[in-house]
């Protein structure tokens, strides 16, 4: 039996239970004890965003590795993860189960904007940390109104701003068409593009939306082609991103295309779309591309590759979601190590909000994790990259859209 599938069936709960040992007494909220730390997660193991559940699978494998190495400060990690199918109503059910039945210390790394927003108020009212949400909506970076919520990936507004500034500076005669999801995710991104364009906002000539329940975005892409746009900003989740790349190419439409970081995975998006159809696409990254020979001798990439081979052999290290899951698991583990024997909600948030430019091996050079009590942008910087048919090539400087 495959060792990972034995602990992580795709469409059912992932519950890793471990025999725990004795540890010095500490100060605890629900979800922690002398011998155990309980972490909760909800993810779309089924549905339109199922590719992003890879981060949760990698987290399960990472915690298994830690438990074989005596856990975190001598405490074993029990990781509960349930399928929400990228349905906010299901996310609410699963998170209530995690908090009220499983008694987790914190909720961690839920993928998706609508899913995270559906439980944000509930978790903040109960002062249960909602950490490293795998989405970049502005509401996930708002310490004034949601002090117990912190996102992981760069802000959608910030990434959109980077693209807008680049286009305004380098493509002054551009005619821009945007395809985006019709929710906070898409709206935040569009706001960022407009902010980056500044006084060149007239370059934006078309804004087309889709629903997460739509079967395809083929008609939307055809509509954008008809506007005469020569710049295409593709703000879609992985399934729809692959469709949009393929459809635009098959139509013979060859705009300069900007692909949001959410869907820049080679394995989950560009290969299904057809790598030859994605050549020249521009994105903004913060994670090293395992496919890039530049990193062949890089210590961080080697560490990741060794982990994948030993603990997640059935999953593709070239899929960026595996690398993001690895960094997220390293990050939450670092926070819990810093908590020592004070495993309370208050101390978890104190440790998270005092991460001062912490580096992880799979982050691109010049990009670190930096959080303060008033700045919840976990990763503020990104690097522009262009797809060459095999890997992402970096160009320009590390940028911030904030």
Q: Which of 319, 348, 315, 345 is nearest to 331 (CA)?
A: 348
Indicate whether 21 and 146 sit together in one domain: yes
Q: Which residues span the domain enclosing 264? A: 156-285+383-400
Task: Answer whether residue 38 is part of any domain.
Answer: yes
Cα distance between residue 250 and residue 383, in whole Å: 29
Q: Say if residues 248 and 225 touch (Cβ distance below 8 Å).
A: yes
Residue 221 pLDDT > 90: yes
Indicate whether 331 and 361 sit together in one domain: yes
Angle at 61 between CA 124 and CA 113, to 5 degrees: 35
User: Helices 320-339 and 345-352 meet at what angle, rounded to 10?
Assistant: 120
Question: Residues 5-19: pLDDT tens digits?
Answer: 333 443 344 444 333
pLDDT at 11: 39
Cα distance between residue 219 and residue 222, in whole Å: 5
Q: Show the tokens assigned to 211.
A: 């629903």
Indicate whether 131 and 197 sit together in one domain: no
Confidence tier at 402 by pLDDT (50, 70, 90): confident
Q: Say if residues 164 and 235 touch (Cβ distance below 8 Å).
A: no
Task: Answer whether residue 8 is part of any domain.
Answer: no
Q: Which of 176, 210, 209 is nearest to 193 (CA)?
A: 176
Q: Show the tokens assigned to 64.
A: 């298994």
Question: Residues 177-220: pLDDT tens digits?
Answer: 999 999 999 999 999 999 999 999 999 999 999 999 999 999 99
Residue 164 pLDDT > 60: yes
- Which pTM was predicted? 0.87
Which CATH number covers residue 211?
A: 3.40.50.2300
Question: Whats the size of the chain, residue-wise?
Answer: 402
pLDDT at 401: 79
Task: Answer whether residue 237 is part of any domain.
Answer: yes
38 CB-near residues (< 8 Å, 6+ apart): 31, 32, 78, 80, 102, 103, 104, 105
pLDDT at 24: 54
Q: Say if residues 154 and 377 touch (Cβ distance below 8 Å).
A: yes
Indicate whether 277 and 301 sit together in one domain: no
Indicate whether 134 and 166 sit together in one domain: no
Average confidence (pLDDT) over 228-250: 97
pLDDT at 47: 85
Indicate whether 228 and 107 sit together in one domain: no
| Other beta carbons within 10 Å of 168 | 18
Residue 23 pLDDT > 50: no
User: What φ, ψ does residue 24 adopt, rounded to 5°?
Assistant: -60, 145
Cα distance between residue 54 and residue 174, in whole Å: 36
Q: Say if residues 283 and 264 touch (Cβ distance below 8 Å).
A: yes
| Other beta carbons within 10 Å of 183 | 17
Question: Residues 58-85: pLDDT tens digits?
Answer: 999 999 999 999 999 999 999 999 999 9
145 CB-near residues (< 8 Å, 6+ apart): 139
Angle at 75 between CA 69 and CA 78, to 5 degrees: 90
Question: Residues 258-315: pLDDT tens digits?
Answer: 999 999 999 889 999 999 999 999 999 999 999 888 999 999 999 999 999 999 999 9
Average confidence (pLDDT) over 148-172: 95
Confidence tier at 104 by pLDDT (50, 70, 90): very high
Residue 140 pLDDT > 50: yes
User: What φ, ψ does residue 305 adopt, rounded to 5°?
Assistant: -60, -40
Mean pLDDT of the chain: 92
Indicate whether 346 and 396 sit together in one domain: no
Average confidence (pLDDT) over 365-383: 95
Indicate whether 122 and 25 sit together in one domain: yes
Task: Answer whether residue 9 is part of any domain.
Answer: no
% of the chain surpassing 90 pLDDT: 86
Q: Is 324 helix (H, G, I), strand (E, B) or coil?
A: helix
- Report the number of distinct structural domains present in the chain: 2
């Amino acid at each position: 039996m495959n060792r990972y599938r034995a602990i992580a069936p795709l469409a059912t709960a992932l519950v890793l239970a471990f025999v725990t040992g004795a540890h010095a007494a500490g100060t605890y909220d629900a979800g922690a004890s002398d011998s155990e730390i309980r972490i909760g997660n909800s993810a779309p193991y089924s549905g339109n965003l199922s590719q992003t559940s890879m981060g949760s699978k990698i987290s399960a494998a990472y915690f298994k590795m830690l438990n074989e190495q005596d856990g975190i400060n001598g405490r074993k990690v029990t990781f509960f993860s349930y399928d929400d199918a990228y349905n906010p109503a299901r996310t609410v059910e699963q998170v209530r189960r995690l908090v009220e039945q499983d008694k987790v210390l914190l909720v961690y790394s839920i993928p998706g904007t609508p899913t995270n927003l559906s439980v944000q108020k509930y978790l903040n009212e109960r002062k249960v940390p909602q950490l490293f949400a795998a989405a970049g909506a502005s509401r996930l970076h708002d310490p004034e109104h949601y002090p117990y919520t912190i996102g992981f990936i760069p802000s959608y507004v910030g990434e959109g701003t980077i693209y807008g500034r680049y286009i305004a500076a380098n493509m002054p005669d551009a005619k821009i068409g945007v395809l985006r999801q019709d929710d906070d995710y898409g709206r935040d991104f569009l706001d960022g593009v407009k902010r980056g364009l500044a006084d060149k906002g007239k370059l934006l000539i078309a804004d087309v939306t889709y629903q997460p329940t739509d079967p395809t975005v083929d008609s939307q892409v055809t509509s954008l082609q008809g506007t005469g746009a020569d710049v295409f900003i593709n703000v879609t989740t992985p399934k729809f991103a692959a469709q949009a790349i393929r459809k635009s190419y098959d139509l013979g439409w060859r705009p300069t295309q900007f692909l949001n970081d959410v869907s820049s995975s080679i394995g989950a998006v560009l290969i299904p779309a057809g790598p030859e159809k994605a050549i020249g696409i521009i994105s903004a990254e913060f994670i090293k591309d395992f496919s890039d020979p530049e990193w062949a001798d890089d210590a961080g990439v080697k560490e990741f590759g060794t982990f994948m081979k030993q603990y997640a052999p059935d999953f593709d290290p070239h899929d960026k979601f595996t690398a993001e899951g690895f960094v997220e698991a390293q990050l939450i583990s670092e926070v819990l190590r810093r908590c020592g024997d004070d495993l309370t909600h208050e101390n978890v948030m104190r440790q998270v909000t005092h991460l001062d430019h912490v580096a992880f091996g799979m982050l691109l050079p010049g990009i670190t994790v930096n959080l303060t009590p008033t700045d919840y942008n976990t990763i503020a910087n990104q690097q522009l990259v262009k797809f060459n048919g095999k890997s992402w090539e970096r160009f320009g400087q590390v940028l911030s859209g904030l």
